[in-house]
Amino acid sequence: MAKIFRLIAWFIGITLGLLALFILISLLVYPSEYVYRALAWRETDYTDFMEHFPMRKLFAASEKFYFRESLEEDRVSGIFEQLSGTTDFESLLEAENTQAFIVIQDDKILYEKYLNGTQRDTLLTSFSVAKSYDSALIGSAIADGYLKSIDDPITDYLPEMLERDPRFQNVTIRHLLLMASGFEYKEMRWGLLNGDDPLTSYYPDQRQAALEFTKILDSPGEYFLYNKYHPQLLGLILERSTGKTVTEYMQEKIWSPLGTEFDGSMSLDSESSSFEKMETGVNARAIDYAKLGRLYLKNGEWEGEQLLPKSWIQESITIDRENHNAEYYPDEFGQIIYDFLGGYYKYMWYGYTREGEDPDFAAEGDQGQFIYVSPHKNLILVRNATAYGHLLGEDWIKLFYQFATEF
């Protein structure tokens, strides 16, 4: 028995020693703030954006826009119950960690529920829904003349990248929007905390990460590969071209013009760097998320004013037939997009084709955040959640798609 205890003690000692060595080496390579975040916070979740990251405030619009209320809860619930095979849709929403669920048609709220301790004025995070806001801001910057074209090389705005590799001049803003830059991106790597997912999530200076950690792997435009350095680089381009923080430009071009009812915020990488987390950092109320969907549903027009060019909206959500093939979506995530409902990825929006109709499209975020738009039914659906339950992203998209078909 004593021998067994000595063996266990030896094993624990070796494990703790290796862990201490791992932490020590990590602290020699990376900022201590990054090492702490990566080890203590681990995979990003709802708590990170609500409690851990600093924020820069977005202020509610002085002239607010309100959707009309014309509730049809029984009708909406009935269709979702039929499609999902449940007898109580609201209970399903609650069991699946849903915080907010809204259905809007013809500018009328048909269904609006808040669950699991939330209410209409609860601040909810976006995860990757934020990327669709990034895309809208790029369209706005082109319309304002800050950017000449999405075919501008990124090195026109980020010339220091040329010093590391002259091939960066072949990468354009369009390539970033399409997630087709040819950059290397490995979510996790063996050894130190050098996986691209933790680096793009927790590194306290995302400007440095985007400018210095990116590496050219292949020629741009050849294939889709989801890469969180892309939105960070877009944020840098916006910051440098407009001379404003991304939050300031967001307030001016999106937040205030859309008549937001509530204050929101953008999460920052750290207090010292104060750079917006472009990949995940928008925080808003669910009803205000719906307004981005309405802007795109109405081709960039808002109450008589053209906030974004119609051509930009159409280009952002229309399928690129040239790249709609399995070879363009080579990895597992890409194949999920391509194999599902005629799916495609365009300018940080997901599209779902319909025979003889305009495609449905969606802003989508981890843990089940959605702004889903179905133009042929003039529908907007919004869902926010703290975590995936039994229903994953493709399950919800299928429900939304079928609902828009049946409704």
Q: Which helix (H) or strand (E) holds 127?
A: none
pLDDT value, residue 328: 97
Q: What is the rounded average pLDDT for all residues in the chain?
A: 94
pLDDT tens for 114-155 read 999 999 999 999 999 999 999 999 999 999 999 999 999 999
Question: Helix, strand, or coil here: 106?
Answer: coil
What single letter denotes the amino acid at residue 2?
A
* Residue that is written with structure tokens 């967001």 in the block: 250
pLDDT tens for 70-104 read 999 999 999 999 999 999 999 999 999 999 999 99
Enter the tokens of residue 353.
Answer: 């084709």
Count CB neighbours of 205 within 10 A: 18
Q: Do 100 and 217 meet the contact criterion of CB atoms below 8 Å apart?
A: no
Q: Do 377 and 400 meet the contact criterion of CB atoms below 8 Å apart?
A: no
The predicted model gives 322-346 an average pLDDT of 94
The predicted model gives 320-337 an average pLDDT of 94
pLDDT value, residue 20: 55
pLDDT tens for 149-180 read 999 999 999 999 999 999 999 999 999 999 99
pLDDT value, residue 44: 86
**pLDDT-based confidence at residue 347 (cuts at 50, 70, 90):** very high
pLDDT tens for 219-251 read 999 999 999 999 999 999 999 999 999 999 999
**pLDDT-based confidence at residue 189 (cuts at 50, 70, 90):** confident
